[in-house]
Structure 1
């Protein structure tokens, strides 16, 4: 296994689409080097609720990572960097720039750099996953993934506990966003998790006032293992969560996904997800997943839908044709667009149905 750290192991075990192998390059001056990643080809058939049907093919999700590991004075030190080619600012469809996904240092129980946020690490181990690159965590603490890798994150683990400080979503916040979580794994393979997040929220989105308030949200989840079947359930509720779930007072994430109403008061966002993953054979795996997020106060006039609840359904089949080569198909349905109509990427996340065909070679 590549990247031998507790943090990376937990993430890779929980994030089906992120699982990769690695090639060990060897050791030089006491440092072990490895390279890994995957090449993923995908084709998406889109049938939106409004507009014309379309097909889009891409290999932009393909990733490349590099890890360096060394023991220094009794401490295990890991440096990790990963990029993909998903540059949303690139205008030419045939030319996509390399984008930084992860760049972090791990020393024993401390991780610092650009990597998964605390909300993702709290929900991913108790989720069944999905092929979907956008919104794979709909209904969970981590949401659609819009802020899934802040510019700077610090994690400290102590047994099953994890404490996180991360670059605040609100640019003028006086202190980092906070996440505290505890994960318990049983000998039978069951996983339980509880988490709490807190963040300073700008409340002047609509009032124009230079004010802020503090929002707290709570989450809990579990994944039960019954032989070849995993059953997952997650739930969360609280204030200040819209920034990470990408659903709030004004609906989907746009120029200012809002945690506050028109009077500048914090709203409550509540969500849940449930899923089943079954390993039919050594090569064939199936997943059914549903997630939804509801804003207790909602303004359809500034949103992209009249529905105050974002609902998503995913049905996936993944076939391991070879040990490191997966073929997959996923049907998914979304009741509301999760990109504003003016976004260049709106076609990737419309209201309606999509079918994705994919081939992934992991190395």
Structure 2
């Protein structure tokens, strides 16, 4: 539920009797968000649970933050649409001693014209309608496709075809050195290609995507491919189901750091899933139960996230939410730990207040 302010600006040559030649429509939006988050366990504190993380002896922390606040602007000028959005998450300049400053972080900046999208936005692999409503930013990222990057995309009816920014995330074959050698991305010269088909109706929507990649680290050519299914399905009353299923050489596209593209020079295979059921108790109050998980073959990572929340609209623009959940790492052989598997879990509780602009 978003309230947006519209501003119309007339640009052009004027005469005594003529109207403006062109007009642009500006839409401003976003939200202010305040979080209170408590984490207790042996996985290091994160502002929101990604698919990464490290196991510690003890991780017990309370953190208040407003860094997830977000601002955006849309511009429409005839057949041309532009959109830009910033937030402040993950961009700390200060700390609790010095000012708690955060830098603006670019999320989206793209142009749309006659079915062509160019710029930075959600990867074509991402169906944002299949994100659960959560207090933890992004929800069960460990089981989702959650990538923003530069791309060029063509949309024709139900079909989308895209070339997206290539980037190989992983490690080189084992060497005599103790530390892992990260792959040099200087050979990322072939764009990733994605084909997506969308279908929607009164029942909701579903998307099926295929990813094709040519990875050439250290001049060792490898071809990767994967598939992704995402859906937002209406059930009883206003209730809905969010669903994502992913399989293949998806690497960085799925799990938000739960899987890499290549491990020790070997192409990684990822299996991931996310499920969320949202139930409306009243017109203003609803709850979501969600679960996400990613497993990989080569690195043998196993990451999961489960949570339950309740949200209520105090006003049409002001939402109060409370969430409890658990993030777990149960790796059999992680590159984060050379001598023993990484295994651990942390529980969390989060209170959020969000004011939509």
TM-score (norm 2): 0.78
Corresponding residue of 1:359: 353
Corresponding residue of 2:164: 166
Q: Structure 2 vs 1, CA of residues 190 and 82 (structure 1 numbering), >3 Å: closer, same or farther?
A: closer
SS of structure 1 residue aligned to 2:267? coil
> Within the alignment, does 1:228 sit opposite 2:238 as a pair?
yes
Runs of 4+ in 1 over 4 A off after TM superposition: none
Q: Structure 2 vs 1, CA of residues 64 and 233 (structure 1 numbering), >3 Å: closer, same or farther?
A: closer
Are the counterparts in 2 of residues 293 and 311 from structure 1 also a CA contact under 8 Å? yes
- CA deviation after TM superposition for structure 1 residue 62, in Å: 0.7
Are the counterparts in 2 of residues 126 and 191 from structure 1 also a CA contact under 8 Å? no
> Within the alignment, does 1:47 sit opposite 2:40 as a pair?
yes
Are the counterparts in 1 of residues 140 and 292 from structure 2 also a CA contact under 8 Å? no
Corresponding residue of 2:277: 276
- CA deviation after TM superposition for structure 1 residue 244, in Å: 1.8
Corresponding residue of 1:201: 215
Structure 1: state its 5+ residue gaps: 1-18, 204-208, 300-307, 343-349
Distance of 1:58 and 1:126 partners within structure 2 = 26
Corresponding residue of 2:248: 238
Picking from 139, 142, 149, the partner of 2:143 is 139
SS of structure 1 residue aligned to 2:253? helix
- CA deviation after TM superposition for structure 1 residue 325, in Å: 0.6
* Bigger Rg over Cα: 2
Structure 2: state its 5+ residue gaps: 12-22, 43-56, 169-184, 338-343
- CA deviation after TM superposition for structure 1 residue 154, in Å: 1.8
Q: How is 1:54-133 mapped onto 2 (pairs within 5 angstroms)?
A: 54-71=61-78, 76-88=79-91, 90-93=93-96, 94-121=100-127, 124-133=128-137
Are the counterparts in 2 of residues 180 and 196 from structure 1 also a CA contact under 8 Å? yes
CA-atom RMSD, angstroms? 2.6
Corresponding residue of 2:224: 215
Distance of 1:87 and 1:296 partners within structure 2 = 29
Corresponding residue of 2:324: 331
Are the counterparts in 2 of residues 87 and 98 from structure 1 also a CA contact under 8 Å? no
1:156-187 superposed Cα distances (whole Å, 9 cap, x missing partner): 2111211222111233222211211111112x
TM-score (norm 1): 0.76
Corresponding residue of 1:24: 6
- CA deviation after TM superposition for structure 1 residue 234, in Å: 2.1
Distance of 1:160 and 1:175 partners within structure 2 = 26
Distance of 1:132 and 1:201 partners within structure 2 = 33
SS of structure 1 residue aligned to 2:193? strand
Q: How is 1:314-329 mapped onto 2 (pairs within 5 angstroms)?
A: 314-329=307-322
Distance of 2:118 and 2:95 partners within structure 1 = 34
User: What count of residue pairs does the alignment treat as equivalent?
Assistant: 303
Corresponding residue of 1:303: none
Are the counterparts in 1 of residues 140 and 290 from structure 2 also a CA contact under 8 Å? no
- CA deviation after TM superposition for structure 1 residue 87, in Å: 4.5
Distance of 1:337 and 1:330 partners within structure 2 = 23
Are the counterparts in 2 of residues 236 and 271 from structure 1 also a CA contact under 8 Å? yes
- CA deviation after TM superposition for structure 1 residue 318, in Å: 1.1
Picking from 169, 176, 179, the partner of 2:191 is 176
Distance of 1:335 and 1:202 partners within structure 2 = 33
Larger RCO, structures 1/2 (Cα 8 Å, 6+ apart): 2
Corresponding residue of 1:309: 302
1:33-91 superposed Cα distances (whole Å, 9 cap, x missing partner): 121111100111111234142100111111111222111xxxx2112111112253524
- CA deviation after TM superposition for structure 1 residue 225, in Å: 1.0
SS of structure 1 residue aligned to 2:142? coil
1:274-297 superposed Cα distances (whole Å, 9 cap, x missing partner): 221112211101111111111122
